[in-house]
Amino acid sequence: MPDLLLELRSEEIPARMQRKAAGDLKKMLTDGLVEAGLTYEAAREYWTPRRLTLDVRGLTARSKDISEEIKGPSTTAPEQAVQGFLRKAGLSSIAEAHVHSDPKKGDFYVAHISKPGRAAEQIIADLVPGIIRNFPWPKSMRWGPASAKPGSLRWVRPLQSILCTFGPETEEPVVVDFEIDGIRSGNVTYGHRFLAPGEITVRRFDDYVSKLEAAKVVLDADRRKEIILADARNLAFANGLDLVEDEGLLEEVSGLVEWPVVLMGEFEQAFLAIPAEVIRLTIRANQKCFVTRPQGEGEALSNRFILTANIEATDGGKEIAHGNGKVVRARLSDALYFWTTDQGDLPDLGQLEASATKFGLDLKKPLDQRMARLDHLDVTFHAKLGTQGERVERIKRLAEELAPIVGADATLAARAAVLAKADLTTEVVGEFPELQGAMGRKYALLQGEHPSVAAAIEEHYKPQGPSDYVPSDPVSVTVALADKLDTLVGFWAIDEKPTGSKDPYALRRAALGMVRVILENKLKLSLGIAIAAAVSSALAVYEQKGKGAESRGVVAMLDSSIRDYRGTSQLLSEAGLISNLLKGGLAKASSETFGSADQEREFFDGQRLMELEASLSPLIADLLSFFHDRLKVYLRDQGARHDLIDAVITPHSDDLLQIVRRVEALGSFLDTEDGRNLLAGTKRAANILAAEEKKKTAIAQTVEPALFRQDAEKSLFAAVNQAEKQAGEAIQNEDFSAAMLALSALREPVDSFFEHVLVNDEDLAVRANRLALLARIRAATGQVADFAKIAG
């Protein structure tokens, strides 16, 4: 069967776009071929900085002939229906249609359509120009005289040639002929821009690859990566060094060269006084080079670096390495200046006293100075959420509230929260934003901060993705939770939630990060109370700034009630958590808060309470639902069944660790014979109840033993009472395995009940009583999970 070779050659394509572009080309072309009625055996895409290539094997030479019948309206149908049928069938008049008869429906029109197949070359020639014109580049450009015309060709960089051949291995392939904006397809390509720029005539993929290789072009990007990595390792080893590998940089560098040549450069030893992260990022970002370290010497770097050239130089690459070294030295000189400047005093220390006093900062310490400046400059975090200084205040207050739950030292947590954003005003982070947190940790250690405080400054950003590590130090955990929760509550309060695929503030990542921090550290934390604590922290900050309508009374009341509820593991009630907090706060509010009982009564009138509860309860409920969605994603990635997750989670579930333990216990229970049988019986009971409730059949409020007529009823009633009590006690002790064991005792009584008892008895009172007994089964199992949501 014939094979297709397509190459689109242009000026240099940005490395970050190449892999996706090659995949897009493959999908667009193969989808188009299949839609046109062709089939193929295999297709693979390739890319270099100057070309996108597609190799399609086993393509059918011609699409099949198509014969089909399109049924139309009755011969007596109105003209409008007839015209619609003609348009659908592509007929010019009703005379081209045939009349068929049906004994029941009478005569009706039928169009017999025959479409002859088309040659693959013709289909390809029609398809490729459209793909090129509509290619989904993130950015594209026009060029040359034709660019002034409307509708002229756009491409990521000027398109220079198109190679397109088609044919079987046993015959000479043909050129698929087409033209787009003056560029005509052919069987000619070109080798390396500098090393072999001449024309290359090719027939099919195999000689295309070999001739390109001879012309100093390695077509396969993965092979270029292997060459670069192997040569870099060998060159480093030959010089007594180890390569510091970087997959992201390797991917980028492989997209910058067609003929990789690995060289080594160097810089002065004095620059090694700069932190390794800064050196690595400086060399990576500016010169796309790899760093090295002495063999067996830990994390310390050497003054040698590895670069990848795109040319074989006559001097062996000495001038290329020297030129790269000059640029690296210049960049490292800047980095050294930033590093030393960050450790000195700021010139505007005199203006920072007020901020230092507010946060308890020591202006003799460089990092404290940077935090004071961050607050003094009123650097905006978000237009609706205030400044970075205000945000740090909120995080500090929230960290103090969360510290006892996490088991962290509240003083250390508060200190870490205060310094967490201080490195944002440092010179190094200004140049390399990727180092925020990491530089804060280094500067904190240099000024003698507690190791847990220093670690929290870096780790409070973690995890930043599903593969990122989760902090375990209690101080880091506390500040990480406080930072993410403040972000989520803030953006929920201003109604800037993620919508569809859009999440500009990475709120899904923040929520998933909280889920991982809580679960992987096995924290027992009520999210509802934590959200309310975040609201309380925000109210306190805005009340201090005079930005909130809430008075000091609301702030004190919320703080007091949160302290009262902390650690109780109380789930949200149907009335909403805020209602409980408000009531608790009122009872505990001191006369100092309000000045007098009259002021207290005046402020906390019914309307004000309703307004506050109405504004906060939906926020908590909505955020909990958002956390539930992230938790489901996490658990499914861990292999948990989606139906078990749905069966366990309720709108008020705010203890993530408890949810996970319930899912685990439920899964283990349902893997047993008792579990499977109880599930079947419980679902049968639930289905009967649902059907009768839908019909508004009377169901007794309570089960009346005097109405029992069968021993099976009595046995089930006794078993339900026992199981409900034991399961409830086990759940109270959070022993979910014991709760499942208690429910397993229902298996035999439930089976016996359905075997011997007719639920819909003719006696309405007996029927209502038996339905009430089924409701008790549903209620008993419902303590653990909603069995109706479980598949099976």
Instruction: Give pLDDT, residue 364.
Output: 95
Amino acid at 431: E
Number of Cβ within a 10 Å radius of residue 148: 8
Environment class of 440 (CB within 10 Å of its CB; exposed 0-12, middle 13-18, buried 19+): buried
Instruction: Give pLDDT, residue 616.
Output: 55
Q: Which has more pLDDT, 547 or 714?
A: 714
Lowest mean pLDDT among 101-110, 323-332, 624-633, 712-721: 101-110
pTM for this entry: 0.73
Q: Which has more pLDDT, 534 or 593?
A: 534
DSSP H/E element including 676: helix 673-694
Q: Are 392 and 376 in contact (CB under 8 A)?
A: no
As a whole number, mean pLDDT of residues 275-286 equals 91
- Beta-carbon contacts of residue 13 (< 8 Å; ≥ 6 apart): 21, 47, 49, 50, 52, 156, 157, 255
* Angstrom distance (rounded) from CA 492 to CA 19: 37
Environment class of 110 (CB within 10 Å of its CB; exposed 0-12, middle 13-18, buried 19+): middle
Instruction: Give pLDDT, residue 542.
Output: 65
Q: Are 336 and 273 in contact (CB under 8 A)?
A: yes
Closest of 151, 117, 134 to residue 29, by C-alpha: 134
- Is the predicted pLDDT of residue 631 greater than 70, yes or no? yes
Lowest mean pLDDT among 148-152, 351-355, 576-580, 674-678: 576-580
As a whole number, mean pLDDT of residues 85-97 equals 86
Instruction: Give pLDDT, residue 543.
Output: 59
Helices and strands in the chain, H and E counts:
30, 18
Q: Which has more pLDDT, 133 or 82?
A: 133
* Angstrom distance (rounded) from CA 513 to CA 497: 17
For 610-619, write each residue's pLDDT tens digit.
Answer: 444 445 567 7
What mean pLDDT is reported for the chain? 86
As a whole number, mean pLDDT of residues 80-101 equals 86
As a whole number, mean pLDDT of residues 105-113 equals 85
Q: Are 293 and 299 in contact (CB under 8 A)?
A: yes
Strand 159-167, strand 183-186: pairing: parallel
Instruction: Give pLDDT, residue 559.
Output: 42
Instruction: Give pLDDT, residue 391.
Output: 93
- Structure token digits, residue 486: 């403040």
Instruction: Give pLDDT, residue 446.
Output: 94
Q: Which has more pLDDT, 608 or 510?
A: 510
Instruction: Give pLDDT, residue 465.
Output: 83
Is the Cα dihedral 200, 204, 209, 214 positive or negative? negative
Lowest mean pLDDT among 58-62, 65-69, 251-255, 705-709: 65-69
Instruction: Give pLDDT, residue 686.
Output: 82
Lowest mean pLDDT among 31-35, 230-234, 767-771: 767-771
The SS3 call for residue 74 is strand
* CA quadruple 723, 728, 734, 735: dihedral, nearest 10: -10
- Beta-carbon contacts of residue 663 (< 8 Å; ≥ 6 apart): 635, 640, 644, 645, 648
pLDDT classification of 588: cutoffs 50, 70, 90: very low
Instruction: Give pLDDT, residue 544.
Output: 64
Q: Which has more pLDDT, 102 or 314?
A: 314
As a whole number, mean pLDDT of residues 661-683 equals 86
| Residue 321 Ramachandran class (φ > 0 left, ψ -120 to 50 alpha, else beta) | alpha
- Is the predicted pLDDT of residue 351 greater than 90, yes or no? yes
Q: Which has more pLDDT, 65 or 57?
A: 57
Q: Are 120 and 127 in contact (CB under 8 A)?
A: no
- Beta-carbon contacts of residue 101 (< 8 Å; ≥ 6 apart): 107, 108
Closest of 12, 4, 33, 5 to residue 155, by C-alpha: 12
For 192-222, write each residue's pLDDT tens digit.
Answer: 999 999 999 999 999 999 999 999 999 999 9
As a whole number, mean pLDDT of residues 782-786 equals 84
For 468-496, write each residue's pLDDT tens digit.
Answer: 999 999 999 999 999 999 999 889 888 89
- Is the predicted pLDDT of residue 722 greater than 50, yes or no? yes
* CA quadruple 148, 152, 156, 159: dihedral, nearest 10: -100
- Is the predicted pLDDT of residue 549 greater than 60, yes or no? no
Name the most confidently modeled range: 372-376, 654-658, 726-730: 372-376
* Angstrom distance (rounded) from CA 377 to CA 360: 17
C-alpha pair distances (Å), 755 with each of 571, 712, 748, 766, 769: 38, 9, 11, 17, 17
Strand 290-294, strand 241-243: pairing: antiparallel
Closest of 220, 246, 221, 222 to residue 232, by C-alpha: 246
* CA quadruple 748, 750, 753, 758: dihedral, nearest 10: -150
- Is the predicted pLDDT of residue 608 greater than 50, yes or no? no
- Is the predicted pLDDT of residue 341 greater than 80, yes or no? yes
| Residue 93 Ramachandran class (φ > 0 left, ψ -120 to 50 alpha, else beta) | beta
Number of Cβ within a 10 Å radius of residue 57: 16
Instruction: Give pLDDT, residue 521.
Output: 95
